[in-house]
Amino acid sequence: MYKTKIEEAKSRMDKTIVALRKDFSTLRAGRANPQILDKITVDYYGTPTPLSGVANISVPEPRMLVIAPWEAKMITPIEKEIQKSDLGINPSNDGRVIRLIVPELTEERRKELSKQVKKAAEESKVAIRNIRRDAMEAFKKLKKDSLTTEDDQKTAETQLQKTVDDFIKEVDKVAAEKEKEIMSV
């Protein structure tokens, strides 16, 4: 019984790490990365559609993204959405494609991004701790309903805490990698 609760908690913690990595992939680190455009949606025939659903995005140079819309009339809406976003990149178009030149990050912007990384990492740790709390409550309920012994409960709590510690270390590792990427010039 405890094993399934621990496995369920591990699965939820894995999803937290995956979400953190996805969140970090959208942070700009001075290099062109198509994933920074993942949060941008464009109105396509009345439906909000991800940018990757209406255009081809490529990286011809280390600091340039090229967006080639599948329909020429989509250039203006795409350009407007990029300008409205918090990317801090001005698009330029030649009538067929939109070019985004990713500027070098200033020291101030690097520190700002570093704070965002720390904040996201802390939020992930809180999520992991909440998962632990839920599992601990489930353990206590099993004990209260006399479905297990106190020794089994203590063993399960110890295993769960070890799992939580491992996932917190993983969050720290992922955050440190992203911070290093941001701070490297």
- The domain 34-101 is placed in CATH, from the list 3.30.1360.40, 3.30.360.10, 3.40.640.10, 2.40.160.20, at 3.30.1360.40
The answer, yes or no, to whether residue 95 has pLDDT greater than 60, is yes
pLDDT by residue (tens digit) across 53-75?
A: 888 888 888 778 898 998 888 88
Three-state SS for 139?
helix
Q: Domain 2-26+106-183 adopts which CATH fold? A: Topoisomerase I; Chain A, domain 4 (1.10.132)
Task: Give CA separation, 2 vs 8, 10, 127, in Å.
Answer: 10, 12, 20
pLDDT digits (tens, 9 = 90+) for 103-145: 777 788 788 888 889 999 999 999 999 999 999 998 888 888 8
Q: Residues 132-183: pLDDT tens digits?
A: 999 999 888 888 888 888 888 888 889 999 999 999 999 999 999 888 888 7
For residue range 3-49, list pLDDT tens digits in order.
888 889 999 999 999 998 888 877 766 667 787 788 888 888 888 88
Q: Which residues make beta-bridge pairs with 69?
A: 55
- For residue 42, the one-letter residue type is V
Give pTM, 2 decimals: 0.69
Exposed / middle / buried, residue 83 (Cβ in 10 Å: 0-12, 13-18, 19+) = exposed
pLDDT of residue 170: 94
Contact 12, 41 (CB under 8 A): no
Q: What is the CA radius of gyration of the chain?
A: 22
In the chain, ranges of CATH 3.30.1360.40 domains: 34-101
Contact yes or no for 123/130 (Cβ under 8 A): no
**Ranges in the chain annotated CATH 1.10.132.20:** 2-26+106-183
